[in-house]
Structure 1
Amino acid sequence: MTARAAAAVLLIAAALPGLARAACPGNTQIEMNDCAASAYRNADAQLNAIWPAARAAAANWGGDGMLLDAQRKWIAFRDAACAVEAGQYQGGSIQPLVHAECLRRLTEQRTADLRGLLPL
């Protein structure tokens, strides 16, 4: 990687929300992409773990159907939003990292939102 390309990657990475937080180690783009994908899978597992409790909490007031509908719409939103965010890097080696980071960030936020539905 040339110095110019490395500087461009650093500038892009600095501009990506939450990328530093994900703290993916790696010396190659492939390693960083794999790490970001793993971080997303972990976030998705956390969301899936809290889902049954959130749905049960919503069922207590008759809102489980509304929550399921909202979750389906949120998934469509997440996928579309992350496609747009990563789309500007179409064809570039950083695109998978940007896409996975977006999925992770939005999934973690949704998990926090679902936790808010749980009784105290």
Structure 2
Amino acid sequence: MRHLEVTLAALLACGGLPGTALAACPGNTQLEINDCAASAYRDADAQLNAVWPAARAAAAASGADGLLLDAQRKWIAFRDAACAAEAAQYGGGSIQPLVHADCLRRLTDRRTADLRALLPQ
């Protein structure tokens, strides 16, 4: 357990994990923290899926629907590959699911903001 505490402290000090990831997931065990991070990602994904129809409609209005759909598919592939690479350095460790889920949440939040920016004001 001490090794985990040192690892978490090092990650926070080096910016490897955002402090909010741990603050938002208070748990007593790594499993509880991992589950909370996975839940935060599911919430972020739900927000992205809620914005998607409006972003796609806005793109369709300008004739860019196909371009946005292609970009979204490529973004999903990028997100999955980037987060797999970020979590790989913790392969086999109990913190790996936390790192992976937090990366998915972070990139999904950014994509949701990008899609919102496409919406008419």
TM-score range, shorter chain: over 0.9
Displacement after TM superposition at 1:21 (Å): 2.0
Q: Is residue 2:88 matched to residue 1:87? A: yes
Scaled by the length of structure 2, the TM-score of the pair is 0.92
Displacement after TM superposition at 1:17 (Å): 4.1
In the alignment, what sits opposite 2:8? 9
Displacement after TM superposition at 1:68 (Å): 0.3
For the residues of structure 1 that align with 2:91 and 2:27, how far apart are their CA atoms?
22
Q: Is residue 2:103 matched to residue 1:102? A: yes
Post-superposition Cα deviations, 1:70-97, rounded to whole Å, max 9, x if no partner, equal 0000000000000000000000000000
Q: Is residue 2:65 matched to residue 1:64? A: yes
Residue type of the alignment partner of 1:6 = E
In the alignment, what sits opposite 1:21? 20
Question: How many aligned positions are there?
Answer: 118
Q: Compared with structure 1, are the counterparts of its residues 57 and 86 closer, same or farther at alpha carbon in structure 2 (3 Å cutoff)?
A: same
Query: For structure 1, which runs of at least 5 residues remain unmatched after alignment?
Result: none
The alignment-based identity, stated in percent, is 72
Displacement after TM superposition at 1:53 (Å): 0.1
Scaled by the length of structure 1, the TM-score of the pair is 0.93
The question of whether the paired residues in 1 share the 8 Å contact of 2:11 and 2:17 is answered with no
Post-superposition Cα deviations, 1:24-54, rounded to whole Å, max 9, x if no partner, equal 1101100000000000000000000000000
RMSD between superposed Cα atoms in Å = 1.2
